[in-house]
Amino acid sequence: MKYRIQVTDSAARAAAALSFRELLQQVCCPSFGRIGEERLESFGAMFFHPMERGELGRVIGKFKAACKLPPFIVSDMECGPGNMILGATKFPYMMGLSQTNSEALAFEAGKIAALEAGELGYNWTFSPVADLAADPDSPVVGMRSAGIRPEHAVKMASAYMEGLQKNGMMATIKHFPGDGYTSWDHHLTTPSLPLDKAAWFDGPGRVFQELIDRGAMALMPGHIALPAFDEPDERGLYPPATVSKRLLVDLLRGQMGFEGLIVTDAIEMGGIVGYMNYYDACAAALENGCDMLLFPRMDDRFYAEMERRAENGTLSLETMRNRAARIIALKEQFGLFRAGEAAPKPDLAAHEAVARQVVERSITVVRDREGIVPFPIGKETKVLHAVVMNNADRNEELLARMKQSLGGLSDHVEQWIDPGPDALFQAAAERRFDLIVCSIGSRLSYGLNVVRLHDEVARNMMGGWTKLGTPVIFVSHFHPFVHKEYEASIDTILNTYGDIACTVPLLVQGIAGERALNRNLYAHD
């Protein structure tokens, strides 16, 4: 059932009593990292980046004490709580969860995020990602997505969303009208979604519509243009959804019937502030359908610039009061004005068991042309672990676990990091090893632009060492589509969709045939 914000008289009165500065604060969600402890004010919401559990509890409590109205406490729990709350339960990324094909596990992951984060005071998450992983080179989507097929993405994302919202955590579907169809990054520029109306309604539009129909409480537009439903400006440029009345009001609110909260993506991303002036963008987002701004710079210049736009008519007081009243009404509906009971203590051991189950069911044999998996590894098996990963130094713990886990089976394990094609050629041609396990790929990282092997590290894929007779098993720990670029040269590849403490031991057990591996490409084409 669709969620609807119903503006009550009490919410309207509360908004009418706020000054212009207070209205601005209510419709803004800054980052605690930028605000700091010394400049806490009565903001409508606050986003907290990863910190230790105890420190988060302290600063969240301090922020709530500074607020006249109960605030939203926000983070980005796209795959359980552990990526944003250090020490909380960690899960693989959404595509790994999706590879289990289990709505029950997706619900449990959402529930666990809600319970562990709720204990600290969180009540809103910018998840799940509703984007489809259509372009393998997408620098933003990839393993954050539930997959490529709309029906499967709806199935898994809605289960995760339900687990969140049924346990006290407001969910946010993103990034409307859909990321993942281009290699352009809206952190840097304004991507254009290259679909006609029919294709959009059959693909990303279908996902967003079904999640709206199933009760999504909030939605985040991306700084992404959708020319099929919009018009270019005087420069011939199509506007990002963030400031497009045609997309947010006519399409999303009108045709699709979404009546929940609309929060911008970070308002300083290049996809919006490369399109128009920063302060004009803040005003235009609110005027054209958004309820809340994410990560505005809450300094004296911001307040002065927004007051100037109120004076010149580009940001009306009526709009500000409407947006603030909607936010306050949502807080009423969500129970933030009621004194709640103390959150129950989460059962972390049980949560870890669920995360392990997700890993067990998600590690996938994506391709195995010669049928070499499982590969028996005994004490005398000579194994090379080759690392062909950009920024391998950022993955020291993962690589150490790979060497340790392989070493638990064999007494003859070597690990080479970025060895170059000549060294790999000689090793394979001379049959120095019985098996080469190659960790390959790059992590998603905003600003990376295209998620592929790049620069000198990519040269490891030269030389033809994969075709010299030594069995090679590639493992992509993060990027789920490495196999698409290396269609011919990679004959065997496994995906893990992230790395938590139990991932590598379970991966190595699967390679060696000590446990079964998933061979169904639920989230792939």
Tell which residue, 512, 484, 296, has the closest CA to residue 413: 512
Bridge-based pairing state of the strands 472-476 and 492-495: parallel
d(CA 161, CA 181): 23
Of 152, 175, 186, 187, which residue is the catalytic one? 187
d(CA 482, CA 211): 29
Is 187 tagged catalytic? Answer: yes
Tell which residue, 510, 521, 513, has the closest CA to residue 360: 510
d(CA 234, CA 20): 32
d(CA 58, CA 62): 6
The three-class DSSP label of residue 162 is helix
The residues that bridge with 436 in the sheet, in sequence order, are 384, 472
d(CA 80, CA 92): 8
First to last CA, the chain: 30
Establish whether the linkage from the previous residue to 128 is cis, with ω within 30° of 0.
yes
d(CA 290, CA 282): 10
Report angle CA 417, 421, 423 to the nearest 5 degrees.
Answer: 70
The dihedral built from the CA positions of residue 35, 37, 42 and 48, taken in this order, carries a sign that is positive
Q: Where are the beta strands (DSSP E) in 477-516?
A: 492-495
Of 135, 185, 230, 265, which residue is the catalytic one? 265
CA dihedral 215, 86, 264, 115 (to 10 degrees): 20
| 490 close to 474: Cβ distance less than 8 angstroms | yes
The residues that bridge with 72 in the sheet, in sequence order, are 45
Locate tokens 């070597």: which residue?
414
Q: Which two tokens stand for residue 294?
A: 């994410």
Quick one: how far is CA 223 from the chain centroid?
15
Q: Phi, psi at residue 179, to the nearest 5°?
A: -95, 175
Single-letter amino acid, residue 76 = D
d(CA 477, CA 259): 38
The three-class DSSP label of residue 72 is strand
d(CA 496, CA 313): 52
Active-site amino acid positions: 187, 265
